[in-house]
Amino acid sequence: MIYPLTRQPDGSLRPYWDESAYYSFGLGEIEALEETVAELHEMCLAAAAHIVARDRFADLGITDARLAALIAESWRRRSELPSVYGRFDLRYDGRGPAKMLEYNADTPTSLVEAASAQWFWMEDCFPDADQWNSLHERLVDAWKRQAPLLPPGAPLHFAHSAADELGEDLMTVAYLRETAEQAGLTTRAITVENIGWDRMSGRFVDERYGFVRACFKLYPWEWLTTDRFGPQALDTLDNGGGTGSTLWIEPAWKMLLSNKALLAVLWELFPGHPNLLPSYLDGPRELAAGPGYAAKPLLGREGAGVTLHEGGAEPVVRDEPCCYQELAPLPGFDGNRVVLGAWVVEGEPAGLGIRESAGPITDEYARFLPHVIR
């Protein structure tokens, strides 16, 4: 296997896929983690319902009334809209309960290595072991089940941004496209930058001037709705009611789950839950004097903009909207900080990916390590 190299801040190159070590779990640990992820997902859906019912979009930084209405409509019609996957990031040290750090429900990556690479690694290195990993089969089955929700006779486009310099988005989209084709769907690859707008028909088109009727996009909703063609994306949004012309996957209601404000809403609805960390939107509150806190921008990827604050210092309220979550330092193993990525497919627990970082924040310099079940 050829391992991609990541350029570190000091200019050195290090393999992203790292099999110099691996993580081993007991079956009971994995079963408990599966139960935790299933419960967390249901709690997140309850929080989304609460946000829509109480019209709390402003807490998520969504102040455009039209966009809020479209998200609410997407939520109400969610059974009519394809929704494939997501990834919980968890703090887990093998001793206490797993703690939810965030939910990457719109554009999660590190899928290829979690689904395929570590499975083949296990078959080569530990053929008698097991692994929490049913991702590939579940993804194929998901596309089969959700095929009737797609516009008939139209190819399913798979889009990533050409601005992705690391190639991670490209690999993720290519892999998801492969699972869709194994499910019998007709697909077509495209970059987001090459999706055009045909003024005559009032529709999005690809390079062949074919209508983009359905599109899986590894492109955050907050970018899509604010880009040059954002108004057209909203004008033609198909929320399952048959009034739009483009069906986007993941659907717009996933914006409710991929926003860090979700963490504060969860703590409000389920205070003291063993798998949650205290989180607030108006400031760190008691966390500043106590355990400390992480200030997280409501939107962001790969740890961008996250700052950590030790307890006992003066609270710092940032100018930009943030979620202030109790500081829960990642467990360290041989000087490496580890975070668990627990995957869900169609809302069901489906697998585990593990990333290590040298620093306290899991960022684009993190490495992926495989795991086995003892």
Write the pLDDT tens digit of every residue in 237-272: 999 887 779 999 999 999 999 999 999 999 999 999
Q: Tokens for 358, please give them.
A: 């040298």
Other residues' Cβ atoms within 10 Å of the Cβ of residue 97: 15
Average pLDDT score over residue span 147-170:
93
Beta strands in the chain (DSSP E): 5-7, 13-15, 23-25, 85-91, 99-104, 156-160, 187-191, 196-198, 203-205, 214-218, 247-249, 279-280, 293-297, 307-309, 322-326, 332-333, 336-345, 348-357, 367-369, 371-373
Which H/E stretch holds residue 333? strand 332-333
Please provide the size of the chain in residues: 374
Q: Tokens for 42, please give them.
A: 């249901």
Beta strands in 122-245 (DSSP E): 156-160, 187-191, 196-198, 203-205, 214-218
In whole angstroms, give the CA distance from residue 146 to residue 185. 10
Please report, for the chain, the start and end positions of each structural domain, with discontinuous segments joined by +: 5-259+331-373, 278-326
- When pLDDT is cut at 50, 70 and 90, the band that residue 2 belongs to is very low
**232, pLDDT greater than 90:** yes
In whole angstroms, give the CA distance from residue 25 to residue 374. 6
pTM attached to this predicted model: 0.94
Write the pLDDT tens digit of every residue in 37-61: 999 999 999 999 999 999 999 999 9
**288, pLDDT greater than 90:** yes
Write the pLDDT tens digit of every residue in 99-146: 999 999 999 999 999 999 999 999 999 999 999 999 999 999 999 999
pLDDT of residue 1: 43
**70, pLDDT greater than 60:** yes
**4, pLDDT greater than 90:** no
Average pLDDT score over residue span 65-80:
97
CA atoms within 13 A on the CB side of 265: 29
**212, pLDDT greater than 80:** yes
